[in-house]
Structure 1
Amino acid sequence: MKHTYLLFILPIALAIFGCNQQPRHPQAELIQQASATAMTDKSILQYVDSIQANLASLEKQSSLIYLQGEQSMYVEKYNSNGKPVLYEENIDNKLISNRIRRYYLKNDSLILLEERTKDNKGITELRRYFRNNIAFKQEKRTAAEESGLKKQAYATITSGSSEENTAPTDTEQASTTQTASKEVQQLKIMEDAIAQNGSFTLYFDQFIDIPEESIIQLKSNARNGYTANVIVRKNDALTDSLQHQAEEFKNKRLNFKWVIADKEAVYVPVAANVTSAKGLNK
């Protein structure tokens, strides 16, 4: 009887033990999600919630703040286990409009684009869902003010609207696929912004020394290209050289670190044993 009792409780004990051994890593939800091709709009939103809940534990990279005319833009990228799960693009047109786009990825596939636009007409939030890099659903909500926006439910953009359809015809499908390709291409552009490649390649222009903080000014060689300002609050060997030997660095690429704080790029000084020559990006 004793052996029979043990045989009865053993499977139960193993089952309980197995349940208690579920991963407790803060990013466990990210790892256990279904593949990108099998995700629905609901599972995509659950996945996005898990990313937002774990942002502090993800690896983060930021681009410089690029200026072009009246517009400024910068990109932030979040990685989980070495793979990108979120790109955030911030575009500001001073008093005219502000736009934030969040691109969520699963296994290197785009699954959701969230876009939030604020202008003098109010606030609009748009969500576009992707499967195999093709949009299969789109929804939005609008309000005059922030408080009113949170009370609004998202409305699906349906067939017959001026926006893209959720059940497209063959012609509309081609248009939707093209739009998806455009969004996927934007991921490459944001990578260039982070790495200062392509149209975001910037060179040292001048060092502006002012009380309390200084500014490293960078510019593109392209006509009407991007420029960027980096605030210097604490000097090191590189900024010393930029200040006193600016001509030696003129029109050269620099290699330094920065952080984005209060929508400003702030210079991160390096250790005293790093020489100014290492500031050149060679």
Structure 2
Amino acid sequence: MAIKDDIDCYPHPTKGASTWMHEVRSVEKDAVSVSRLRSCGVILIGKANMHEFGMGTTGNNPNYGTTRNPYAHERYTGGSSSGPAAIVASGLCSAALGTDGGGSIRIPSSLCGVVGLKTTYGRTNMGGSLCGSGTVEIAGPIASTVEDVILVYAAILGSSPEDRISLKPSPPCLPILSSPENVNILGSLQLGKYTEWFNDVHSTDISDVCEDVLNLLSKSHGCKTIEIVIPELHEMRIAHLVSIGSESLRSLNPDIEDGKGVKLNCDTRTCMALFRTFTASDYVAAQCLR
């Protein structure tokens, strides 16, 4: 497995794809999720590239080079977990660990044709990651199959006694969907279909395949699909931006004010300038909406 460059993997430095974070923050031990992977016998092949500090959805990184999409080298992988998705898609390793606060696992997984899981917040321990003090980001797996994603998720799942934010208690185990005794577990699921987003694709080939999957889940496994509408979507997007932006600014601000801000790339500087316009009242209002 490979580990995204905002998660500690001792003894390697955690740079967050910046040129200086390793100068102000030392890595003394593995992140909790990485430690759990090691205990399962996982072989770690290295750290993976990303969008600087996760502040972008392309994976474009002038500091260390932009990760290329294995299927089309002139195209982006998506971000911010660009390296993990590309490594899995290219077959260099069977899985990778990324982080996601606003699509950073899901976007590159989609663009690279692999499987990515954005877990429920609090299911995985964020200790030992650059985004560990926030209330939005999670650590999650990227792999080539759903089964492999389940295996990695099962390995990193669970809170620690000292982690006051993690959900407790965590499930003791996950169902093995391919085993005969658990096939019927899907029948208890109710699937929400937001048609406006479902059909918002460049090609009907995509929506047709997704429709076929829904029909398969319904006819073969008894799942029920219902039409849903997501209310206050615009307001939720703003609340998310204020939340993740304010927390990102808080975690980086001491170092940026100490002269490191000039070393940030253009994307990150633009984001930080926007985040500085948020007030404490904006943050509280965003939490009320959450």
Query: Shorter-chain TM-score: which interval?
Result: under 0.3
Hey, which of these two has a bigger chunk of helix by percent?
2
* Greater strand share, structure number: 1
TM-score between the two structures when normalised by the length of structure 2: 0.27
Larger RCO: 1 or 2 (CA < 8 Å, sep 6+): 2
